[in-house]
Chain A
Amino acid sequence: MQITKKTKLKGLKKTREIGPLGVVETLRKKKVTGRGGAGFLVAKKWKSVMDTKSDVKYLICNGDEGEPGTFKDKFIIMNNSETLIEGIIIAAETIGAKTVYFYLRGEYVNLRKFLENKIKKVLQKSNSNIEIIVVMGAGAYICGEETAIIKSIEGYRGQPSYKPPFPWQEGLWEKPTVVNNVETFVHVAQALCFKDYNPNLKLYSVSGSVKKPGIYEELSGEKLSKIISKAKPINKPKAIYFGCFGGCKPYKEMKLIPKTICGDDCVHGAASLIVADNKTSAIDMAYIISKFFTHESCGKCTPCREGNIQILLLLKKLRKGEATKKDFELLKELSLHIQETSLCGLGQTSTKHLLNAMKHFKKEFTDLLVKEKGE
């Protein structure tokens, strides 16, 4: 696996040789992209902060992986934290940040001590005067969003705000800020260090109805069946869920390319693959995921706050066999509405799974509806 290859501070050494502009140029050439989901070029993000005039700049390492079925950050912290921390130092020295906040997912509290010790060691070895502060999340899914993470570190409620201003303009405490994912920092260090660095290698978290759930490193664009067969499915897979927010798709052969992963209605996202087998009901899955989003909605904007609970109520009704055709139509209308008008990524993607399920497994839904006269 490339991701576990240690760079042993060689990347940092190179950084100090070639200087910030050199680093950005190298990252651009090697096409290092952010691993949070959007696939933004790292060089571009950093350059915009470097070009913004300010006496203080901040760097945030986003270790708040809350996406169900994702556990790659945990894997990295446990297996290659030295390279991760080196990547952070490289980023801080490149953009000119003196303070770095490592936002660790609330549920990973047992990793905190371990991580803090590693940080101390690497900082000592690296002769760097930057400060890395580990901040614990409190368990909110939304705090993985970059504007919400900033609010959370500032001590406010972790709620997203709209952009502009973008974090690179006014981020943490209104200073230019770079927010990058854990996996990204490892890639940064490795890109500077290894000649054979491959930016197309990606970590897939596979879980669900499989015998060997875990992290699989594959090339972007790899065939789905290859990854799933490695994880050894228990029963015949029926559908694949791309985390909760990525939507779902009936199980068939497809290439895992971020942008066009499965047509236009799913999102590749944090590369979480949850396998649902032929014994799983699509409605049960929809219900569970809706419950998750109803719980994790921050409550800020109307469609997500009020809409998701109404969707959950409608699904409850459906499961009881009390829903009518009208309810089914309302479910569709509301899902689309939430997708179109919510403030942040959470709201906009919170009903993707349902829209997909209603399209691909429509029969399961309509079978449960109250039969009307004449049918």
Chain B
Amino acid sequence: MKKIKIKLDGKTISVEENKTILEICKDKGLTIPTLCKQPSLRSEARCRICLVEMDKKLVTSCSTYPSEGSSIVTQTDRVKNARKRNVELIMAHHVGSCTINEDEKNELCSLAKEVGLKTTRFKKVRTYKPTLGSSVIRDDNKCINCGRCVDTCSKIQEVYAIDFAGRGYNEHVSSYFEKNLGETSCIKCGQCIINCPVGAIREKEHLDYVIEELKKKKKHLVVEVAPSIRVSLGDEFGYPVGTNVEGKLVSALRKCGFDKVFDVDLGADMTIMEEASEFLHRLKNGGPFPMITTCCPAWILMMESFYHDLFKNMSSCMSPHEMLGMLTKTYYAKKAGLKKSEIVVVSVMPCTAKKYESTREELHSGVDYVLTTREAAKLIKHFNIDFKKLEDEKFDNPLGVSSGAGTIFGITGGVMEAALRTAYEFGTNEKLKDLEFKSIRGIDGIKTGSVMINDVEIKYAAAHGGANIRKLLKNYKDYHFIEIMACPGGCVGGGGQPIPTTLEIAKIRGQSLYKDDNKDKLRKSHENPVVKKIYKEYLDAPLSPKAHKILHTFYKRRSKF
């Protein structure tokens, strides 16, 4: 790349020609405040906060490429005042809708502090009704039109459920025909939530209902925890990214007042038993291929809206937490001598789409409430539990023993790897030599590989993030087995995870999950003694009529609009 010489704050430096001022400053260790810029995307230069002075003109650093001899100043009074003014203008609309307890994560509030603003001289000029949905709720009164949600929805997820509508000061984010998000083709992945700087988009909270149940104590309360929560919840309590807080998580939930704390990793093991068996069944009967995983409810919605020809390819397995929810209300209820109606199941998920999933008519769900990772942290804080001082505790029996295969469900490629471990051994009756399928690991958008099962070369692939999914599905017929996760990075990068969550952070959390799997003595789902016991005592065998009734589901055609 061609190099050019520029002057940055008085110093002459040599930089690459294709870099924006913002990137150059970052390389040089200079921080410039930004708001609308998203790391992996081309900036739209909407917010006008990242201003600097180039050759006596004010320019946005995120979108300006300097040329030979340009002189750039980043901290003059003129620059500072201009930034301040724009923050002030943005605040005019936001202030008054902002609630105090959300302030800590509010990028606009910290920006205001940074530029030295306490209040705005301008009036609020518009009000909106919040739009509701079964998982995702938007409040335009807080929205500052930065466009990060719109960019995420259209460029990263390629769902196009939201865009800007109206013009001038009436411009606002909207779904088509101003519909509620629940009535659109929104896949409820929640990626817009973790990218919103001001909390204008959030999940539909189940927190209050759960606190109510915990206070009433009338029913038998069961909580189940998804694989990725153990490596992400720590973020909310000040641990370094990717710290595994499984033990403390279990004891915190117990302290909140739950009667039993179960592990969704076990549900994942059950999913693998069913899914691997289903795959081998298809292999014996000649298809249809590819078989596509169904653990991700956002992907299911995407398929139901956009990929109607893939219905036959979808596995019929429920997602792990739904399987565990069903088992809790049937198998466990029987063992504990409880009626189905006496049990309340709460899932802690990294996901907003799971909230919608638990209301799906297609799968008489066993889960009553779904909390996101963020809500779980709020719950623990609500009960004034000092998380860091807790002793490590273990999951409850009987649904608390899991394998490493279940743990890695939390990251992209994990479901595929876990399924292959079991499918290989079921199919060949041989021991798998190398348990780790390296080809399916990592955070590349699309990963592919192949393995021999009884002289058949099984081609598999995994994709995560809407844009990558669309790319992979263009050639879906090339594969036998496909794993799809709607969120970038898989569940560790899910829409219900602590803010901030980026692909980089997701990667670190994923590595932590792989470490956990590596430590585990049990690394294959079919060797899990509890799984064996459940089949022996209750379900007979994978794909048995009883298993079908409890653990499988079906899908519904939806329109794009």
Q: Which A residues lie at the B interface, using CB under 8 A?
A: 140, 157, 161-162, 164, 294-303, 305-310, 313, 330, 333-334, 337, 340-343
CA distance A295 to B89 in the complex (A): 18
CA distance A161 to B43 in the complex (A): 10
Query: Does B170 touch A at the CB level, under 8 Å?
Result: yes
Of B44-52, B338-346, B458-466, B553-561, the one with at least 4 CB within 8 A of chain A:
B44-52
Asked if A341 contacts B86 (CB within 8 A), the reply is yes
Contact (A305, B164) CB under 8 Å given A300-B44, A341-B48, A343-B48: no
Of B119-127, B264-272, B281-289, B482-490, the one with at least 4 CB within 8 A of chain A:
B119-127
Interface core residue of A302, A307, A334 (most chain B CB under 10 Å): A302
Closest to A296 in B: B168
Asked if A310 contacts B92 (CB within 8 A), the reply is yes
- Chain A residues contacting B171 (CB-CB under 8 Å) are 298-300, 305
Residues 47-94 (chain B) with a chain A CB within 8 angstroms: 47-49, 51, 58, 60, 63-65, 82, 85-86, 89-90, 92-93
- Chain A residues contacting B64 (CB-CB under 8 Å) are 162
Asked if B48 contacts A164 (CB within 8 A), the reply is no
Query: Does B145 touch A at the CB level, under 8 Å?
Result: yes
Asked if B45 contacts A341 (CB within 8 A), the reply is no
A266 to chain B, nearest CB (A): 19
Known: A305-B145, A310-B123. 10 other contacts (CB 8 A): A162-B60, A162-B64, A299-B169, A299-B171, A301-B47, A302-B90, A306-B93, A307-B89, A310-B122, A310-B125
CA distance A298 to B44 in the complex (A): 14
Asked if A302 contacts B168 (CB within 8 A), the reply is no
A85 to chain B, nearest CB (A): 32
Across the interface, B170 reaches (CB within 8 A) one of A161, A299, A340, A342, namely A299
* Main SS at interface, chain A: helix
Query: Does B163 touch A at the CB level, under 8 Å?
Result: yes
Contact (A161, B44) CB under 8 Å given A306-B122, A307-B89: yes
CA distance A310 to B121 in the complex (A): 10
Asked if B44 contacts A297 (CB within 8 A), the reply is no
- Chain A residues contacting B92 (CB-CB under 8 Å) are 306, 310
Asked if A330 contacts B86 (CB within 8 A), the reply is no
Q: Which B residues lie at the A interface, using CB under 8 A?
A: 44-49, 51, 58, 60, 63-65, 82, 85-86, 89-90, 92-93, 121-123, 125, 145, 163-164, 166-171
CA distance A162 to B64 in the complex (A): 9
Asked if B123 contacts A301 (CB within 8 A), the reply is no
Asked if A301 contacts B45 (CB within 8 A), the reply is yes
CA distance A162 to B65 in the complex (A): 11
Across the interface, B168 reaches (CB within 8 A) one of A162, A305, A337, A342, namely A305
Asked if A310 contacts B89 (CB within 8 A), the reply is yes
Asked if A337 contacts B85 (CB within 8 A), the reply is yes
CA distance A308 to B171 in the complex (A): 13
8 tightest A-B contacts by CB? A299-B171, A306-B89, A309-B169, A297-B168, A162-B63, A337-B85, A299-B167, A302-B48
A147 to chain B, nearest CB (A): 12
Across the interface, A308 reaches (CB within 8 A) one of B45, B63, B163, B168, namely B168
Closest to A310 in B: B122
- Chain A residues contacting B44 (CB-CB under 8 Å) are 161, 300
Closest to B122 in A: A310
Closest to A294 in B: B168
CA distance A308 to B48 in the complex (A): 15
Asked if B45 contacts A162 (CB within 8 A), the reply is yes
Q: List 21 A-B contacts (CB under 8 A).
A: A140-B167, A157-B164, A162-B45, A162-B60, A296-B168, A298-B171, A301-B48, A302-B47, A303-B48, A303-B85, A303-B89, A305-B169, A309-B169, A310-B89, A310-B123, A313-B123, A313-B125, A341-B85, A342-B48, A343-B48, A343-B60
B164 to chain A, nearest CB (A): 6
Asked if B164 contacts A299 (CB within 8 A), the reply is yes
- Chain A residues contacting B170 (CB-CB under 8 Å) are 299
Asked if B86 contacts A299 (CB within 8 A), the reply is no
CA distance A299 to B82 in the complex (A): 19
